[in-house]
Each structure stands twice: as C-alpha cells, then as structure tokens.
Amino acid sequence: MLWEILAAVALSWTRIVTALAISVFAAIIVGIYSGIYRRVDRIAIPILDVLQSVPILGFFPLAVYVLASAVPVLGYELASIFLLYTCTFWNLAFAVYEGARSIPHSMIEVAELSKLSLRDRFGKIYVPAVFPKIVDQLPASLANAFYFLAASEVIALGEAEVRVAGIGTLILRYLEKGNYAGIAIGLLATALSIIAAYLFILMPLISYSDRYRFDIAQPPAVQKTPMIMGLYSRIKSIQAPLRMEPRRVAGFTHRVFPIQFVNIRYVGSDIKRLIFIVFIVVLLIFAGPGIYANIGDMWAAVSSVASAGLRLGLFSIGEALAYSFSRVLVCLALMLAISLPIAYVVSEKPGLRNTILPVLQIIASLPSPLIFPIISGFFVGGTFSRELGAVLLMSLGSVWYVFYSTLSGFNKVHGEYRELARLYRLSGINKFRYIYLPFATPSIVTGLITATGGAWNTVIVAERLGEGGRIFEVQTPGLGKLMSTLAEIADTSGLVFTVMVMTAFVILVNRLLWRNLYDYSIRALRIHEQL
Amino acid sequence: MSNSEILMELRNVTHGYSLRSGSTLKVIENLNIQVRYGEFLGIVGPSGCGKSTILRIMAGLVKPLSGVVIFRGEVLNGTTPRISLMHQVPTLLPWLTVRENIYLALMSRKDLTERAKQLKVSELLELVELSGYESAYPYELSGGMRQRVALARALVTDPDLLLLDEPFSNLDPLTSLSLIRELEGMWFDTTLPPISIVMVSHNIEEVVMLADRVVVLGGRPAKILAEVPIELSRPRNKKSEEFYRLVDELFSLIS
C-alpha cells in the first residue's frame, strides 16, 4: 500500500509540475507581451479576464472530449494536465502582466537603444523583472492545483468514467472502500510532499527572488535588519517613479479625464464587447463538434440545448443560480473577514512572514476536497450546517487568492507611510482606515475578482461531493449541484445549457459589479500611479 | 555650555543592521551630537553614510543598538508629538484632501478639542500659503505645494524639534529656493514652532544657507569629521565671498 501511495503521489506531482511549467511559460509570454506592448494588451487582457472568470470546471467535459479523441493514448493524461493548467495559469498571467507593466519605461528604452536581441530582452530585463511576481504567485497556484487534484484525475465522459493514476483517485478509491488507514497515509504523504516542496524549493526560490525585486514596496524577507537599509533603498527608489510621472503634476488633465489613467487592467468597453462576441463564437466552434458528434446534428444540438433549458425549468435554474450566487457572496465575505486581519498582522510584523506564511501555505495546499470527506460528518446536521459546510469548502478553494492579494496590497504601504503612522501615533483603527486599507483596496478588489472565479469553480465541487452526493450535498438547490447531477446522468445538453447560464451570469456580474467596483475604488481613492 | 541649553542629545549612539551572513554592519558608531535650543543644525555627509538613520533615531522611529537619545532632559522612548519629521518626498495620502492630510497629525491627540484641531489646521494652511487649497487633493498640487502641505503637517503639532530629511532634493531649484526662504522666515519668527531644526542634506549650499552649525559625517561606520559653525548674518547671500569660502571648506571636508 505504501508503494502504491508513493507512486501515486509521484504521478500527481509529475502532472502538477508539468502543468505549472506550462502555466509559468505561458504566463511569461502572455503577461510580458501584454504588459509591454500596447496592442497585445488591448486584446489579450480582456480575453484573459473573461476566461479567468468562466467556470472552467464546467467546460472540462468538453475539453476532455476534444483532447481524448484527438490524442488516443495520452489524451486523458493531457486532459488532466489541462485542467491543472487552467487552475494555475490565471493568477500567474496577471501577476506577470502587472510586473511587466511596472518595468520602468526608461529600462525598456535602454533595451531599444542598445538594440538588445529578443532573447536578451527576455533574459536580461523582462524575465528577471517579473521573476519575483511569479515566485510570489507559485504558492497560490500550487494550492489551487492541489485543490482540484481529485477533480483533475477523475475524467467523466457521459457514462464512462476514466480515472488516471494519482493520489487523488487513489484516495477516492480508499474512500469508496472505507480504507481509512489508506486515506490517512495518503493524505499524510501528500502533506509531507507539499511541506518538502515548500521548504526545499519554494522558500529558497522566494529568498532568491528577493534580489530581483526593485519594487521594494515588499518588506525585506529577513526582517530583524534590513529595516534601515530597506528604508534607505526605499527612499531612493520611490523617487524614480515619482519623477517619471509628469501627469502627477498635471492635475488638471486628471480632473477632466480621470478615467484615462485610472485603469491598468480594463480597456475600452467596445473592444471588450467585441472580444466577448469573438469568445462566444470561438466557444461555439469548439463546442460545436462535440455536440455534433454526440447527437449527430448541429441544429438538433442547439435545439436540444435550448429545449434542455425548458425541460429543466427556467425557474428552477434561476433558483439554483440564486442559491449558488448567495453562497459565492457569503464565501467572499468570509474570505475577506479571514484575510484582512491575518494579512494586516503579517504585513505589520514582517518577521511573521517566515513563520505564518509557510504554515498557511501548507494548509492551503492540502487538497481540501480530499480532506473534507473526513470532516464532512460535522456538516450533515441540518440545512444550515450543510450550507456552512459548502461555503467553507468553497472558501478553502479560493481564500488564498484573497489572502495573498490582500497581503500584497498591505505590503504596498511604503516605509514612509508606516513611519507616518508611528510619528503621529495613529491608533490601530485609524492607521488601518486611513493608510492601510486605502492602499490595499485595488489589490483586494483584484483578489476578490480572481476569487469569485475560483468560488464559482469550487461551487461545482462544494455543493455535491462524491458520486450521487454520497459524501456531501447541500439540501437547497444550487447550480453546482445541478451540474454534477446532470453530469452523472450524462445529460449533455442539460449540462451545456447550465454551463452557459453560469458563464453568462459570471461574466455579467463581473462586468456589472466588479469592474465598476474596481474603477470606483481607484477613482475614489485618487490613486493614479504606483499600483 | 550648561545642560539647559541642550534640546536633544545623542550619547554614544551606535546603529547598524545584521547582514544575511549573520555579521553586523555598523552604519554609525559612538556618535555624540547635541542639538541646542533655538539652533538650526545641518548634518551633511556623502550618501549612504547614515544621515537618514540618525534622523530616524532622533525621531524615535528607530531604536539604536546602543547609546541613548536625551530629549528635554529625558531619555527618548519612541515617537512623540514634540518631534516632527518631514520626509524627502511629501508622504501625503492621495485619498485625503490637503486639510485632511494635515489633520492626520492631530487625529490621535486627546488633549485638543475637535475645534482646536480644526483651528490649528487652518492656521497652518495660512502659514504655508495654501489657504485656498484646503479641499484640493495632493495630485492636483505641484511638487512644491505638496512639500508645503507636508511641512504644514509636520508643524501642526507644535513640535519643539523639526527634523528635515533632504526636504528640497526633489524640487526644482527655483521652488526649493522659495521654500528655503519661507522656512527661514518661519524660523526667524520666534512665536512659531519649532524651537530647533535638524536638517540632513547632501546639498551643501542649502545647508550653508540655513544652518547655524554643520556637523560633517564621513567614513564607515560614520563618525563626525568636523563641526563647522556658520556665523553669517541672515538672510544670507549666496554670492558673498564668505558663503563661498564655507561651501568650499565643507566640500573639501566631505570629499
């Protein structure tokens, strides 16, 4: 059994590392090109933005179908890696993008003036500049990969279910057999492998990456000391962006066109709309053959999907949607309530970074859907406790996005501002309210946007866990519950319809709520640069 | 000189930071500096010699590894409203108006009524000639105006000691000159705070323009190389022979 477990852990890690490598590579290419070249920026970022907010898990069956039929033997492995890739890529891509955006323009000019080759540009400037950002995001990506580990290893295609070998499927098997020793050892082995990876790979990487940081807003990794040195270098480096910012002085233009400088991430709404349409068309092209092959006729497929909506009942879908959305909102509130105080404390006492963060990281990486069955007994009491269980399980999946972005927001508070709070002896609440929170708000909103995508994804897992909801299931309706039920009875057209409803809703909320909140926060805070 | 004439004193102050290798790199060692009542003290030295560190130790923001800071006859323990620090860049909060930014310094004071605080802010706004701008936001102001807001915030607490960390280095020469003149004017007015000023700078002309006495730092860890009194009459003329001689003297001490 031990060998079985070790082999499964190794296999799962191979997939995760492969997926991470692809994610990092893709994030570097996409993030840097979008960050540095305006034209790419306009197209790539809205696409990324839409894609990251779409519940990828819902599209998974389609991706599996395409990959499995295209590549006979390795198809399922590829599908598994593809899912892991989709849950590790987005935060990396946006981090690289932001990193590339913050490369001083003068440095890019130097590269152009000295006619550096493309290879040198990437090797000497771009990649080193975004390297710390990538390293910062790796823990979150890794945690997410482990969250979806079990989901990535069980590939359901209609009635057929393929399980690729890995620790996720192994533990599921033990669970089905009631082999609790196996589950315990399996989880322990996974936890130990994560701890080892953190201690021997991530931690050294993080401290190594410190030398590439020129955005010193980050508190120094070794605390007791560089405070002074850090202060000094901070002062020196803050000048640079300030000097480069002629529009800072030109307050008038800000007044007239406040929006123009406001946004780093979201570009003109016409382009966004266009891209949205393109996205839907591409989606149809991809989804078309799948449906076509299943039913034999494209038009029949469309009408079958449409009639699935009627069959399922628009009201019951709406009801399920409302329940799931409430869960997502409660989940976000919960994540924020957890993240704000902890991140605040960690950023106030950078010494804690080396103690609290590794612990959090390890907790984050533990594959919660695998652990949850063990504690799910506590949450089967009544409706309320089941709701609590679902929200908790959802939070475990995306709390890290909120936490890390909140922390990075708090870390953006420069040393001088921290000194200000001490000089004028601001109370904890005032310091939080007037200095820390405003500084961190854009980052927090960005984190919430990512986390919403994550929460919609986890809703599918959290509302109904295990075949037939054997392990855990909410009693009230839910879109995730509906989806997994439909997947189990191989109702493809119903599934496609539900996924479309969810996707449309997520995009709509993203557009109507989050965008505006982000823009509003930037405007209300009058932050025009340095973020 | 009797003790009563000394506002602040650094006694045998040593500070440094540990390197990753575990050893300690000393930035300043056994430093003794006195700030007298009513004095404008300049501290000059090459960049990286620990000038800013000294200022932060004086502000109570940084606790030295060894040695003590005596302020008004007592050991300084942490920050106090009696000592203000003005940063090199005007650290204004972009989401607060000019008035709110200045008010920030009084926010936590319990010994003042709300009305007294607001009056105090208005008074300072007038002093730095920003009366019409109280509801403007920092990004709407020029660099010099922002630095004046920062100055107002530093003075609103009625400090005995004002610490200036290269306050003019981010401004263009014209703006910095007018700000220097303003500061000097305020300085002359004995009814206004502060009692004493310590200014750190690597711009020697600026220091000769303003200071009564200049402490020259150098070496690693930094030590006092010389103390030069500036006894020129005010307002000082940049073009006078005496002025040149002093600037030359300080330059040769540093380099």
**Chain A interface, Cβ < 8 Å to B:** 222, 224-229, 231-232, 235, 238-239, 242-243, 248-249, 251-252, 254-255, 414, 416-417, 419-420, 422-427, 430, 434-435, 438, 524-528
CATH superfamily label, B3-82+195-254: P-loop containing nucleotide triphosphate hydrolases (3.40.50.300)
| Average pLDDT rounded to a whole number, residues B218-241 | 82
The pLDDT value given to residue B47: 75
Q: Cis omega before residue A219 (within 30°)?
A: no
**Of B19, B104, B156, B158, which to mutate for an interface test with A (greatest number of A Cβ within 10 Å)?**
B104
The pLDDT value given to residue A230: 33
Confidence band (pLDDT; 50, 70, 90) for A23?
very high
Percentage, residues of chain A above pLDDT 70 = 72
Closest CA–CA distance from residue A443 to any residue of chain B (Å): 16
The pLDDT value given to residue A266: 34
Higher per-residue confidence, A156 vs A149: A149
The pLDDT value given to residue B7: 87
Inter-chain Cβ pairs, chain A and chain B, closer than 8 A: 104
Q: Do A239 and B88 touch (CB under 8 A)?
A: yes
The pLDDT value given to residue A22: 92
Q: Do A419 and B140 touch (CB under 8 A)?
A: no
Share the mean pLDDT of chain B: 85
**Of A252, A423, A434, A522, which to mutate for an interface test with B (greatest number of B Cβ within 10 Å)?**
A423
Alpha-carbon distance of A474 to A482, in angstroms, equals 11
Nearest CA in chain B to A233: B48
| Average pLDDT rounded to a whole number, residues A436-447 | 85
Q: Say which residues have a Cβ less than 8 Å from residue A95's Cβ, sequence separation at least 6.
A: A27, A31, A130, A133, A134, A136, A137
The pLDDT value given to residue A468: 64
Q: Which of A139-148, A232-241, B76-85 has the lowest mean pLDDT?
A: A232-241
Q: Cis omega before residue B221 (within 30°)?
A: yes
Q: Which of A106-110, B13-17, B72-76 has the lowest mean pLDDT?
A: A106-110
Q: Do A228 and B53 touch (CB under 8 A)?
A: yes
pLDDT above 90: residue A14: yes
In tens, the pLDDT along A31-90 reads 888 877 766 766 776 677 667 656 666 666 666 666 777 667 777 888 888 888 888 888
In tens, the pLDDT along B8-43 reads 999 989 888 777 666 778 888 888 999 988 888 999
To which residue do tokens 């709110």 refer?
A: B100
Name beta bridge partners: B69. Answer: B10
Give the nearest partner residue to B17 out of A228, A254, A435, using CB atoms. A228
Give the nearest partner residue to B20 out of A222, A420, A434, using CB atoms. A222
DSSP state string for B86-125: E-SS----TTS-HHHHHHTTTTT-SSS-HHHHHHHHHHHH
> Both tokens of residue B37?
């009542």
B234-242: long-range contacts (C-beta < 8 A, 24 or more apart)? Answer: B234/B184, B234/B188, B235/B181, B235/B184, B236/B208, B236/B209, B238/B205, B238/B209
Q: Which of A172-176, A282-286, B154-158 has the lowest mean pLDDT?
A: A282-286
Alpha-carbon distance of A254 to A241, in angstroms, equals 18
In tens, the pLDDT along B161-217 reads 999 998 888 788 888 888 888 888 887 777 777 788 999 988 888 888 888 899 998
Q: Do A228 and B139 touch (CB under 8 A)?
A: no
To which residue do tokens 């605390």 refer?
A: A223
| Average pLDDT rounded to a whole number, residues A150-165 | 72
> Both tokens of residue A249?
């002085």
Q: Do A225 and B19 touch (CB under 8 A)?
A: yes
Alpha-carbon distance of A365 to A138, in angstroms, equals 11
Give the nearest partner residue to B18 out of A225, A426, A430, using CB atoms. A225
Q: Please, are residues A49 and A60 in contact by the beta-carbon 8 Å criterion?
A: no
Q: Do A424 and B81 touch (CB under 8 A)?
A: yes
pLDDT above 90: residue A451: no
The pLDDT value given to residue A59: 64
> For residue A243, which residues of chain B lie inside 8 Å, CB to CB?
170
The pLDDT value given to residue A19: 92
Closest CA–CA distance from residue A483 to any residue of chain B (Å): 45
The pLDDT value given to residue B57: 93
Closest CA–CA distance from residue A254 to any residue of chain B (Å): 8
Q: Do A414 and B93 touch (CB under 8 A)?
A: no
Higher per-residue confidence, A272 vs A186: A186
Q: What are phi and psi of A203, to 5 degrees?
A: -60, -50
Closest CA–CA distance from residue A131 to any residue of chain B (Å): 21
Q: Say which residues have a Cβ less than 8 Å from residue B128's Cβ, sequence separation at least 6.
A: B148, B149, B151, B152, B182
| Average pLDDT rounded to a whole number, residues A341-362 | 79
Which DSSP letter does residue A433 get?
A: I
In tens, the pLDDT along A249-280 reads 233 222 332 222 223 333 334 444 555 555 55
Q: Please, are residues A507 and A498 in contact by the beta-carbon 8 Å criterion?
A: no
CA distances from A529 to A98, A254, B45, B94, B206 (A): 12, 12, 33, 10, 31
Alpha-carbon distance of B212 to B31, in angstroms, equals 20
Q: Please, are residues A162 and A472 in contact by the beta-carbon 8 Å criterion?
A: no
> For residue A237, which residues of chain B lie inside 8 Å, CB to CB?
none
pLDDT above 50: residue A248: no
| Average pLDDT rounded to a whole number, residues B79-105 | 88
pLDDT above 60: residue B1: no
* Residue B188, number of CB atoms within 10 A of its CB: 10
Alpha-carbon distance of B209 to A506, in angstroms, equals 64
Q: Do B91 and A417 touch (CB under 8 A)?
A: yes
Q: Which of A290-304, B79-93, B166-180 has the lowest mean pLDDT?
A: A290-304
> Both tokens of residue B103?
């008010």
**Of B20, B63, B84, B95, which to mutate for an interface test with A (greatest number of A Cβ within 10 Å)?**
B95
> Both tokens of residue A60?
């998974």
CA distances from A153 to A15, A17, A161, A495 (A): 10, 15, 10, 20
The pLDDT value given to residue A259: 28
Q: Do B85 and A419 touch (CB under 8 A)?
A: yes
> Where exactly are the structural domains of chain B?
3-82+195-254
| Domain range A2-525, CATH class | mainly alpha
Q: Please, are residues A125 and A108 in contact by the beta-carbon 8 Å criterion?
A: yes
The pLDDT value given to residue A264: 32
In sequence order, what E strands does chain B have? 6-18, 24-36, 40-44, 66-71, 74-75, 83-86, 161-165, 196-201, 213-218, 223-229
Closest CA–CA distance from residue B49 to any residue of chain A (Å): 11
The pLDDT value given to residue A502: 82
Q: Do A430 and B108 touch (CB under 8 A)?
A: yes
Percentage, residues of chain B above pLDDT 90 = 13
The pLDDT value given to residue A296: 55
Q: Do A528 and B139 touch (CB under 8 A)?
A: yes
Give the nearest partner residue to B107 out of A422, A426, A527, using CB atoms. A426
**Of B112, B139, B162, which to mutate for an interface test with A (greatest number of A Cβ within 10 Å)?**
B139
Q: Do A414 and B104 touch (CB under 8 A)?
A: no
The pLDDT value given to residue A159: 59
Q: Do A228 and B27 touch (CB under 8 A)?
A: yes
Q: Please, are residues B83 and B163 in contact by the beta-carbon 8 Å criterion?
A: yes
Nearest CA in chain A to B17: A225
Percentage, residues of chain B above pLDDT 70 = 97
Share the mean pLDDT of chain A: 73
ipTM > 0.90 (yes/no): no
Alpha-carbon distance of A409 to A51, in angstroms, equals 24
The pLDDT value given to residue B144: 84
> For residue A524, which residues of chain B lie inside 8 Å, CB to CB?
95
Q: Do A251 and B105 touch (CB under 8 A)?
A: no
Give the nearest partner residue to B85 out of A228, A229, A423, using CB atoms. A423
| Average pLDDT rounded to a whole number, residues A168-189 | 84
> Both tokens of residue A298?
């494209």
